[in-house]
C-alpha cells in the first residue's frame, strides 16, 4: 500500500521503517521535504524510501499517518490541505502535550472537524514508539486502542496493527472516545517515571 508518514521524529521513523519492512511504499513527509532526519532515514533504509513535503507525501497515498508534534498537527495537516486528505484514512498517533485546559475536544476530534472528508482513526498514542511497531517487545497480552467514526477505516487500520504484531485491538467507538486515550498521557508519564522505563503497556483483565 502507498502510505505517507507525516513526521520526522522518533515516531515517524519507527512507523515508516516498520511499514517499509512490511513491504509498503512509504514516503516520509516534513515541512521542507528535505528535512535532514528524513534524508538520513531514507539513506539508512535503502532503495524505495521516499521523502517529500507533508502535502507531496500525502497526495498519492491511500493512507496517511499523522506523527507530527501534537500542538502543531493541525498546522501540518493544513499544509497538506483538505483536498489531499479527502476520503483517505488518516491515522492519528499524535498527543498534544500542551492540551491541558484547552477545551473538551481531543486533538483527534479537532482533526476530524477540520478535515471532515478524512477518515480519522486515533490509535497507538498510548504506547512508546518502540512498542507501537513491535508489541512482542513486551511479554504477555497487552492492548492497543482505536477510535474513529468510519467502520471500514477502523477495519483497515486494525489489519495494519495486526501486521505489526498486535493481537488485542480494542475498538473504543467513535472519534470522541479519543478523549480517553489522549487523557491517558498524564498517567502514562507518571507510570514511566515510577517504573523508570518507557517500555510498558496496559494489559486488560476481564
Ligand atoms: N515518542 C513516543 O514514543 C510517542 C508515543 C505516542 C505518541 N507520540 C506522539 O507522536 C507524535 C510524534 O512524536 P515525535 O517525538 O516522533 O516527534 P515530534 O518532535 O513531537 O514532532 C516532530 C514532527 O512535528 C513537525 N512539526 C514540529 N513543529 C511544527 C510546526 N510548527 N508545523 C508543522 N509541523 C511541525 C516536525 O516537522 P519537520 O519534520 O518539518 O521538522 C516533525 O515532522 C507527537 O504528537 C507525540 O506526542 C509519541
- The pLDDT of residue 127 is 98
Interval between CA 70 and ligand 1 midpoint (Å): 6
Mean pLDDT of 146-153: 98
Q: Separation of 79 CA from ligand 1 center, angstroms?
A: 15
Contact 120, 148 (CB under 8 A): yes
pLDDT tens for each residue of 7-59: 999 999 999 999 999 999 999 999 999 999 999 999 999 888 999 999 999 99
pLDDT at 103: 82
- What is the best residue among 5, 7, 32 to mutate for testing ligand 1's pocket, by most ligand atoms within 8 Å of CB? 7
Alpha-carbon span 46 to 43, nearest angstrom: 5
Q: Output the CA 181–ligand 1 centroid distance in Å.
A: 18
Which residues neighbour 148 within 8 Å (Cβ) at sequence distance 6 or greater? 119, 120, 121, 122, 154, 157, 174, 175
Q: What is the pLDDT of residue 97?
A: 87
51-100 pLDDT tens trace: 999 999 999 999 999 999 999 999 999 999 999 999 999 999 999 988 76
Q: How far is the CA of 205 from the centre of ligand 1 (A)?
A: 32
Please provide residue 92's backbone torsions phi and psi, each rounded to the nearest 5 degrees: -100, 115
Distance (Å) from CA 93 to ligand 1 centroid:
10
Instruction: Report which of 116, 112, 80 is spatially closest to residue 182, judged by C-alpha positions.
Output: 112
- DSSP string of the chain? -EEEEE--SHHHHHHHHHHHHTT-EEEEEESSS--HHHHHHHHHH-TT-EEEEHHHHHTT-SEEEE-S-GGGHHHHHHHH-HHHHTT-EEEE----TT-TTS-S--HHHHHHHH-TTSEEEEESTTS-HHHHS-GGGS-S--EEEEEES-HHHHHHHHHHHHHHT--EEEEEESGGGHHHHHHHHHHHHHHHHHHT-S--------
The protein residue whose alpha carbon is closest to atom 25 in ligand 1 is: 68
Q: Give this prediction's pTM.
A: 0.98
Task: Please report the atom of ligand 1 found closest to the CA of residue 11.
Answer: 16
pLDDT digits (tens, 9 = 90+) for 105-114: 999 999 999 9
The strand order across the sheet containing 89-92 reads 50-53, 25-30, 2-6, 63-66, 89-92, 119-123, 143-148, 168-173
Tens digit of each residue's pLDDT (9 = 90 or more) over 45-56? 988 899 999 999
Predicted local distance difference test score (pLDDT) of residue 101: 60
Higher pLDDT, 102 or 171: 171
| Residue 39 Cβ contacting ligand 1 at under 6 Å | no
158-184 per-position pLDDT tens digit = 999 999 999 999 999 999 999 999 999
User: For the chain, what is the mean pLDDT?
Assistant: 96
Does ligand 1 come within 6 angstroms of the Cβ of 17?
no
- Cell representation of residue 56: 507531496
Instruction: Assign 136 a pLDDT band (cuts: 50, 70, 90).
Output: very high
pLDDT at 122: 98
**Which residue's CA is the nearest one to ligand 1's atom 48?**
11
Amino acid at each position: 500500500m502507498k502510505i505517507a508518514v507525516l513526521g520526522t521524529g522518533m515516531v515517524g521513523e519507527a512507523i515508516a521503517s516498520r511499514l517499509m519492512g512490511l513491504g509498503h511504499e512509504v514516503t516520509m513527509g516534513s515541512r521542507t521535504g528535505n528535512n535532514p532526519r528524513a534524508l538520513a532515514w531514507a539513506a539508512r533504509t535503502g532503495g524505495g524510501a521516499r521523502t517529500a513535503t507533508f502535502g507531496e507525501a500525502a497526495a498519492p497515498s491511500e493512507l496517511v499517518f499523522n506523527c507530527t508534534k501534537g500542538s502543531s498537527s493541525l498546522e501540518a495537516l493544513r499544509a497538506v490541505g483538505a483536498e489531499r486528505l479527502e476520503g483517505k484514512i488518516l491515522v492519528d498517533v499524535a498527543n498534544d502535550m500542551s492540551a491541558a485546559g484547552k477545551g473538551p475536544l481531543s486533538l483527534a476530534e479537532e482533526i476530524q472537524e477540520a478535515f471532515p472528508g478524512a477518515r480519522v482513526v486515533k490509535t497507538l498514542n498510548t504506547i512508546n514508539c518502540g512498542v507501537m511497531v513491535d508489541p512482542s517487545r513486551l511479554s504477555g497480552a497487552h492492548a492497543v486502542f482505536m477510535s474513529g467514526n468510519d467502520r471500514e477505516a477502523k477495519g483497515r487500520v486494525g489489519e495494519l496493527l495486526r501486521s505489526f504484531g498486535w493481537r488485542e485491538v480494542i475498538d473504543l467507538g467513535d472519534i470522541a472516545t479519543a478523549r480517553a486515550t489522549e487523557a491517558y498521557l498524564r498517567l502514562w508519564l507518571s507510570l514511566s517515571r515510577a517504573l523508570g522505563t518507557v517500555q510498558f503497556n496496559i494489559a486488560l483483565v476481564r
